[in-house]
Structure 1
Amino acid sequence: MSEDIREKVKEYYSALQSSGDLKTSVCSCSSASQEVQDIIDGLPAEVNERFYGCGSPIPPMIEGCTVLDLGCGTGRDVFVLSKLVGEKGRVIGVDMTESQLEVGRKYQDEVARAYGYAASNVEFKCGYIEDLAALGIADDSIDVVISNCVINLSPFKEQVFSEVWRVLKEGGELYFSDIFVDRRMTEAQQNDPVLRGECIGGAMYIEDFRRLMRRVGWDDFRYTASRVKHVDDAELAAKVEGATFFSRTVRAFKLPAQLEDLCEQYNQKATYLGTIPGMPDYFDLDDHHRFMKDVPLDVCGNSCAMVENTRFGAAFAIEGDRSVHYGPFPGCGNIPYDTGDDEDGGCGCGCC
């Protein structure tokens, strides 16, 4: 049955010629930064017209990085990343729909020339995002993994996240946008080919996603953005009546020895130096941690690790270490997840 779902999704997206062919706006992109939007505006029209995404999962400070895009489609985000990683960086796009990849490959050299590169730093691979090993993507080889409204389509979600964990380097980042829901979808809803193709039937129940992430290795992850998405097709809305859907962007770092399942107090402070490109005044780690330039911020051990022991480390000055523990970080507790619009109610571990 799961393989059948995957084939139906492939058929669904093979038939689409533009985002206007979708029946709902659930899988539609929210606003990007001005820098990213300027890059998008310069891409070939066909690449942009056949883009299907629900967010803008383009993280900062990726120059020189190797970035993997899961479910890259025609390559819109791949080409944005290609510009941002620079000529010495590398971008790999994976998708199971060959007709989508053909569009990206058609413009690959043209985009590289437009960026002034001697050769393209982009590679497109046809395959399944839950089996990256079959595509030759090695353990601990990727700096950043992104995805834009694709993981919900997979019937093998735990395998997807396990593969991401495998290929990421220690300190590497998973940064993705997708559709979440406030309850579990029924089997009939999950198997409905139109609901699935519209990113509704496979939407991830928020609490099951939290549990899945912990099983794979992420004891803490963060949300950086959230927006309620309305099913604007009456027939499809009737099939999922009562459910509330969200487009959310998730940030998770592979720090297996440093992240705990609760925010713990070690009396640490982190000061942002204002050196992340495009972010001279502040840096948002997530939706509830804004680091202002030159202003020390008390942080839990997890938040400190996320800015100290990742590629962001050069942009922060850290005070303190983990030699003395002071109990749970003030204000933390086992708080149920808040599903309100635009507010995420804390970090992925549900403790802030």
Structure 2
Amino acid sequence: MSERRQSASENEKSMLSASEQREAVRDRYSSIAETEDSGCCEPTSEDDTDSCSSGGCCDDTTLATKSERLGYTEDDIDAVASGADLGLGCGNPTALANLAQGQQVLDLGSGGGFDCFLAARKVGPTGFVIGVDMTPEMIERARKNIDKNETENVEFRLGEIEHLPVADGSIDVIISNCVINLSPNKSQVFSEAFRVLRPGGQFAISDVVMTAEVPQEFRADPESVSGCVAGAATISDLEAMLERAGFEGITIEPKEDSHQFIREWSSEHRLEDYIVSATIEGQKPNTE
């Protein structure tokens, strides 16, 4: 299947054009980035309360508890200054990646920078972390967090994950947290990831995968697309896309215990009937 046909197929699943999907995602996350303290939305009336449920109206304590349920430790949460953890992920890719001193790390869809700052601690002063996000407001927020975290080995770049502003073969490890499902062209994302990795480089992300056909009403709904629901792909589709990009050693493992927090993403729908969080890993062949 050609890249054009693959992209068209992915767009048909979401029932929104690529530009509509990007606009929905950009609008949602720019709004979240502009909140003062966290990614939690603040209802302005009783009518707004339900609409906030997917954003997770919460205080710092609730946000920390949510992060622990995603796989972060109390030490992880305490190590990063407030304002970087927006509670938007579905796992902990920094634990999955087994990062080491001196590595060059790339975070796809870095948001407020939480995973980047955790990764920076693990790679140390001889390593470096790049976060890429397509939302200017998120980049601005993340850059402010650099000073708050007194971190010198992190940089944030504005760009789309389908067209990474990163040099060929310059990255040791790619991480991402519940972001690639938002892309209207996942095949292109995986191809770009493969391009920027060094031979032997690791791809280790957390994301949602589709376990049952998502209802048509979700696929046509911008909020469902930007809320990590309608854009999820099946395990078999993801495996095929990663293989076409050139990755080997591909493993995709659903996390059944994620049903609990996915259930809380919506007060109106049983989202856990359609999607589940998963760890997704692969490696660029070592040609040396």
Q: Same fold per TM (> 0.5)?
A: yes
- Give the match's secondary structure for 2:40: helix
Q: Which residue identity does 1:10 align to in structure 2?
A: R
2:252 aligned with 1:214? no
Whether the 8 Å contact between 2:181 and 2:232 is mirrored in structure 1 is: yes
Whether the 8 Å contact between 2:175 and 2:204 is mirrored in structure 1 is: yes
Distance (Å, rounded) in 2 between the aligned partners of 1:244 and 1:186: 9
| Residue 127 (structure 1) aligns with | 159
| Residue 71 (structure 2) aligns with | 32
- Give the match's secondary structure for 1:81: helix
2:114 aligned with 1:76? yes
**Highest Rg: 1 or 2?**
1
Q: Which residue identity does 1:104 align to in structure 2?
A: A
Root mean square deviation, CA, Å: 2.4
Q: 1:107 aligns with which of 142, 145, 165?
A: 145
Distance (Å, rounded) in 2 between the aligned partners of 1:62 and 1:192: 41
How far does residue 95 in structure 1 lie from its aligned partner after superposition? 0.5
| Residue 197 (structure 1) aligns with | 226
How far does residue 251 in structure 1 lie from its aligned partner after superposition? 1.8
User: Unaligned regions of 5+ residues in structure 2, if any?
Assistant: 1-16, 42-51, 57-65
Distance (Å, rounded) in 1 between the aligned partners of 2:163 and 2:113: 19
How far does residue 107 in structure 1 lie from its aligned partner after superposition? 2.4
- Give the match's secondary structure for 2:131: strand
Q: 2:92 aligns with which of 50, 56, 68?
A: 56
Distance (Å, rounded) in 1 between the aligned partners of 2:211 and 2:162: 24
- Give the match's secondary structure for 2:83: helix
What is the aligned-residue identity percentage?
36
- Give the match's secondary structure for 1:44: coil
Q: Which residue identity does 1:96 align to in structure 2?
A: M
2:128 aligned with 1:90? yes
How far does residue 225 in structure 1 lie from its aligned partner after superposition? 5.9
Change (3 A) 1:56 1:225: farther
Larger relative CO (CA 8 A, sep 6+): 1 or 2?
2
How far does residue 54 in structure 1 lie from its aligned partner after superposition? 0.6
How far does residue 163 in structure 1 lie from its aligned partner after superposition? 0.2
| Residue 251 (structure 1) aligns with | 281
- Give the match's secondary structure for 1:221: strand
Whether the 8 Å contact between 2:40 and 2:55 is mirrored in structure 1 is: no
- Give the match's secondary structure for 2:140: helix
Task: Map Cα deviations across residues 162-215 of structure 1 (whole Å, 9 max, x no partner).
Answer: 000110011100000001111344665333111112211111212211221221
Q: Which residue identity does 1:251 align to in structure 2?
A: E
Q: 2:197 aligns with which of 168, 176, 182?
A: 168
Distance (Å, rounded) in 1 between the aligned partners of 2:197 and 2:250: 15
Q: Which residue identity does 1:6 align to in structure 2?
A: R
- Give the match's secondary structure for 1:128: coil
- Give the match's secondary structure for 1:235: coil
Equivalent positions of 1:1-352 (< 5 A) are 1-16=17-32, 17=35, 18-21=38-41, 23-24=53-54, 29=67, 30-32=69-71, 34=73, 37-48=74-85, 50-58=86-94, 59-112=97-150, 120-132=152-164, 135=165, 137-185=166-214, 188-223=217-252, 226-227=255-256, 228-229=258-259, 230-232=262-264, 233-237=266-270, 243-255=273-285
- Give the match's secondary structure for 2:160: coil
Query: Greater share of helix residues, 1 or 2?
Result: 2
User: Unaligned regions of 5+ residues in structure 1, if any?
Assistant: 114-119, 258-308, 310-352
Distance (Å, rounded) in 1 between the aligned partners of 2:252 and 2:237: 15
Distance (Å, rounded) in 1 between the aligned partners of 2:91 and 2:76: 16
Q: Which residue identity does 1:246 align to in structure 2?
A: V
How far does residue 106 in structure 1 lie from its aligned partner after superposition? 1.0
Q: Which residue identity does 1:47 align to in structure 2?
A: A
Distance (Å, rounded) in 2 between the aligned partners of 1:158 and 1:66: 23
How far does residue 77 in structure 1 lie from its aligned partner after superposition? 0.6
Change (3 A) 1:90 1:125: same
Whether the 8 Å contact between 1:72 and 1:147 is mirrored in structure 2 is: yes
Q: Which residue identity does 2:120 align to in structure 1?
A: S
Distance (Å, rounded) in 2 between the aligned partners of 1:87 and 1:224: 32
Task: Map Cα deviations across residues 228-279 of structure 1 (whole Å, 9 max, x no partner).
Answer: 4343424343xx6x9431111122111176xxxxxxxxxxxxxxxxxxxxxx
Q: Which moved more, 1:148-157 or 1:244-253?
A: 244-253
Whether the 8 Å contact between 1:184 and 1:205 is mirrored in structure 2 is: no
Whether the 8 Å contact between 2:70 and 2:90 is mirrored in structure 1 is: no
TM-score by length of 1: 0.63
Change (3 A) 1:19 1:33: closer
Q: Which residue identity does 1:32 align to in structure 2?
A: G
TM-score by length of 2: 0.76
- Give the match's secondary structure for 2:53: coil
